[in-house]
Structure formats: structure tokens, C-alpha cells
Homo-oligomer: A and B are copies of this chain.
């Protein structure tokens, strides 16, 4: 299979988009890691470059010389390292290599690979290239999550952008979409790219159920707060209640009650909470407790996949009730993509859809995002089901 011009174009475009996402950052912003689950923007820039270097350039080009031999230790994401200085939790400790060097590294990789592809159009690396592009798109979204978190945690509350609108209001009238009991096919079936966790198209039996065509709004969620939702342990998982107590959680992330008014930090800075906008930055624990309070429930990922044609989605990741587990025909694949395989398939919940910061041409209705139930720095919201 020849490398198409289109995919080369997409490669270059993706590399550029990553840099555009970082454009509003100051040099100091690139260094910050506030939580173990975050990475500094600089690390994302380096890691996505290392991915192309390590999995394509070093494998296909015998003349290729590493840009810097130390970088593979710094920008590798493998979790097994034991040396303190390379630990995931230590990514925010690295002032060097500098932002400038990392951009040089990026440029080097982008140019070298683009040129290499031009010279070797017969290389059978479509898949690897696509994987690298999709991998970088995942990190584009993580960049948004991490940047919002690091700016939103700063006491000066700096804005990311004057114009980036993250709150997309759903105008449609609320209604329940019926899913009829029966057998349905789940999973990715076309020849288009997908991650390995979506593969293994298989049958699933669903019972009658109904799914809302709208996401829960800030206003609806506020009622839960005002009704004492965060003080009533019966609504929560035992584990969620511990999480809430230990972290003194009293509202979604980025909500601030200031001078008698609920405000929300957004990519455009601090604003009055928009009651019409979908609630976001909630953990699975909160989504579950909210559904419980409404005497409803979250949909499973299968119900969601079956019903998704009948509602709009893609502006907000949606927590599902489903644990992240392998599909029946899941195959552990070659080593280099094991990041998406079963090594993460425990104690995570599946999110479906996509969010306002998800890259173009990245998500799809079979896409399975997954996070620990406590995480909420991603743009995550709530859609209810019943039956």
C-alpha cells in the first residue's frame, strides 16, 4: 500500500495543530505538572515526537540517528521505570530540555519523516503513520485538559483564549429515546482506523431501556447540590463517598462560589455559571450519585452505542455505567501499542462520545475512552437512562 498524499498532509496538519494548541502558552506554562495524571505541555510535545521517532524512523530508516539519545528516557510513557528521575510523577521536575529544544526536536521529526515518506512512498507504514497521528490527536485533547487545569489552578486565573467557547448549549426539547430489547452488534466493523479496544464486533443482548436525548445541565446539577447531594452518603458509592470526603469535594471541578454567586473557570477565564450549559468536569462518582438522586441511572456503553444515532453527541465525554473491559474477541497485539490494550483494563469506567476539545476526525461512535472513576479534569458530562 502506498502512502497517500492525504495521509502525509494529515500528518503535517496534526503536528501543526498540536503546536497551535500550545500557542497561547507562556514558556513557563510548558513546565507545569500539578497532578500525577497530568503531563506538562512540553512533555506532550516531546512524547508525540518520540513516538514517531521510535516506532517509525528508528525502525524503517537504517541511517536514522536519534536526535538526542537521552530523550527516549524522558519522553517514553512506559510505566515500568523505577528510577526516580524518569517517573511519571516527576515529569514536572524537568526544566531541561528547554521548550525551544523540544520544538527543535519536533521540527526535526516532522521534517525528517515527511521527507522520508516522500522518498519512500512504497513503505508499508500506513498503519503506523495513522496510529502515530491518532496518538498525537489523543495528546491534543490531553493538552487541553492539562492546560485548563494548570491555568485554572493558578491564583491569577489567566484565560487560555478570548474566543474558545467550551460551553455548547443543547437547544432541543428533552425526550427519552427508546431502545428495544434484543440482540445488537457492538464494536468497530469497517476498515477505517480504530484502536484495538474497539475491535471484535460482537453481539450483545439489551433489555428495553430509554436514554435521554440531552445532557444534564449546570442548572439541573445545581439542584442536586442545593438538595444536599454532596452531604447524603446514601446516594454515593462507598468509594465515591471516601473520595469526596478526603478531597472535600462540594461541586464539579472549576466551580467557585464567590460573593454569593456560582462562577465557573473556562478556557475564556472566570464566568458566571451558565445554567443552560451542560454540566462538565464531573467524576463518575458524581455522575452516578446524580443519577441516583434522580432515581435514574447512567446508560451502559452498549446502550449508548445502540442509541447514539438518535441524539447529538461529541461535545462532552459521557460517563457510562460500563467498566472498561476487553471485548470478547479482544486480542493482545504487538508490543508497541500495548498502551491501549488490556494493561489498563481494570478499575476504569468507559466514557463515550467526544468533547469540545477532541480533535477532528478522531472520535467515532465505537470509540471507548476510559478513566478512573475519580478523574474529572477531562470534559466529562452526564446523560441519563432508565429501565
Contacts and interface: CB of A to CB of B under 8 A. Distances in A.
Interface of A: 26-32, 34, 42, 70, 73-74, 79-80, 82, 85-86, 92-99, 150-151, 153-156, 158, 183, 202-205, 207, 209, 233-234, 236-242, 245, 284-285, 288, 292, 297, 321-323, 325-326, 328-329, 332, 335, 338, 342-347, 349, 373
A150 B239 CA distance: 25
Copy count, this protein chain? 4
A28 B155 contact: no
Given A202-B207, A238-B343, A239-B347, A321 B328 contact: no
Contacts of A345: 237
Contact of A346 (B292, B297, B373): B373
A187 to B, nearest CB: 12
Contact of A325 (B34, B292, B323): B323
Most buried by B among A28, A34, A237: A28
26 contacts: A26-B96, A28-B28, A28-B42, A32-B95, A34-B93, A70-B155, A73-B155, A80-B233, A80-B241, A85-B154, A85-B155, A93-B150, A93-B153, A94-B154, A96-B158, A202-B207, A203-B205, A203-B207, A209-B328, A237-B346, A239-B344, A284-B346, A288-B346, A321-B325, A321-B326, A322-B325
Contacts of A92: 32, 92
A74 B322 contact: no
A96 B321 contact: no
A156 B96 contact: yes
Give 9 nearest A-B pairs by CB, closest first.
A323-B323, A80-B233, A28-B95, A29-B95, A27-B27, A205-B205, A347-B347, A203-B205, A207-B328
